[in-house]
Amino acid sequence: MPQTDNPALKFELLQSDDFSQFLLTNPAEIQHVLRDLIRNRAMLTAYVEGGRDFMLTSVLDLVDGDSTVVLDVPADDAMRGRALNSEELICITQVASVKIQFPLSRLSAGTHGGHPVLLARLPDRLLRLQRREYYRLTAPASHSLLCQIPVPTEIGAVNTFEARVLDISGGGIAIVVPPEGVEFRPETEFDNCQIALPESGTVQAGLRIRNIFRVTNRNGISMLRAGCEFVDLPERIASVIHRYILKVERDRSARGRGG
């Protein structure tokens, strides 16, 4: 039976102020990352046909002048057949707090070292996210953090949009892009945004959009995630944010200890 529990988020980089920060397209750089996966014996979660079903595999080698990726064969015969018939697999793994995702297309069956394997062309792109880029302090489940974003209209009025905060740090936040009414693209700036931090106070700051990802969660539900940095954040506001982060982390540690 194919496995359907989704253990990892799938990221699709849609817009960024610096694509090279996340997305590799140079074959030599992609080969370097794949060799790291081989050295670390990293386990890959490979999603079939962009769906929720996945198989577990690993990169065993690069052959044919490093132009072909050799994958371990999954134990499940049905899933192996689906992989071979699939137009594309989305492979995800994590090594040393770096999340790595890349597509493999048109797999074929082969042998390597006398053992059956799957073969695929070297991917033409590879997404690499440092931990600090896709995770900061995840907003607590005990309370929702909301960011109020005021947007001037053409007639001089101001519409305020509400966006759910996914994570927060002293440098910025990640939010769920509102479904309509406001345009989000890299380098767009919003002034006087407000976030109410429970028991810490309300912070007000400018935000600059840095990147936009489509993220698919383990239930197969997609959303747009915007990574934002604070603009000219006053030190006193930064202190409020740091106090809030420390408080949440202390509370989490206390619950983990049963306190």
Tell me what pLDDT residue 141 has: 63
Of residues 123, 135, 140, 137, the one with CA closest to residue 88: 123
Report the SS3 class of residue 21.
helix
In the chain, the percentage of residues whose pLDDT exceeds 70 is 88
Shared domain for 142 and 129, answered yes or no, is no
Shared domain for 236 and 176, answered yes or no, is yes
Domain that holds residue 119: 21-133
Of the ranges 42-51, 57-66, 97-106, 136-145, the best mean pLDDT one = 57-66
* Beta strand spans in the chain (E): 10-16, 23-24, 43-48, 54-63, 68-72, 88-95, 98-105, 108-112, 115-121, 126-130, 137-138, 146-152, 158-168, 172-176, 189-197, 201-216, 222-231
pTM here is 0.69
User: Is 117 within 8 Å of 70 (Cβ atoms)?
Assistant: yes
Tell me what pLDDT residue 72 has: 95
Tell me what pLDDT residue 193 has: 95
Whether the predicted pLDDT of 223 surpasses 90: no
Of residues 252, 125, 238, 232, the one with CA closest to residue 189: 232
Does residue 2 sit within a domain?
Answer: no
Find residue 173's DSSP bridge partners: 168, 228
Listed residues 95, 117, 133: the one ending a domain: 133
Listed residues 117, 133, 149: the one ending a domain: 133
Shared domain for 169 and 244, answered yes or no, is yes
Whether the predicted pLDDT of 115 surpasses 90: yes
CA dihedral (173, 179, 180, 186) positive or negative: positive
Shared domain for 109 and 218, answered yes or no, is no
Whether the predicted pLDDT of 111 surpasses 70: yes
Share the mean pLDDT of the chain. 84
Which amino acid is present at 26? N
Average pLDDT over residues 31-50: 89
Q: How far apart are the first and last CA of the chain?
A: 42
Q: Cα(31)–Cα(197) distance, rounded to whole angstroms?
A: 44
The tally of domains found in the chain comes to: 2
Q: Which helix (H) or strand (E) holds 171?
A: none
Does residue 98 sit within a domain?
Answer: yes
Classify strands 43-48 and 54-63 as parallel, antiparallel or unpaired. antiparallel
Shared domain for 84 and 46, answered yes or no, is yes
Please name the residue ranges forming H helices in the chain.
27-40, 77-85, 131-134, 235-256
User: Where does residue 167 fall: left (phi above 0), alpha (psi -120 to 50 degrees), or beta otherwise?
Assistant: beta
From residue 2, how far is each of 51, 189, 256 by CA, in Å? 11, 44, 34
User: Is 167 within 8 Å of 145 (Cβ atoms)?
Assistant: no
Tell me what pLDDT residue 6 has: 38
Residue 96 is part of a domain; what is its CATH number?
A: 2.30.110.10
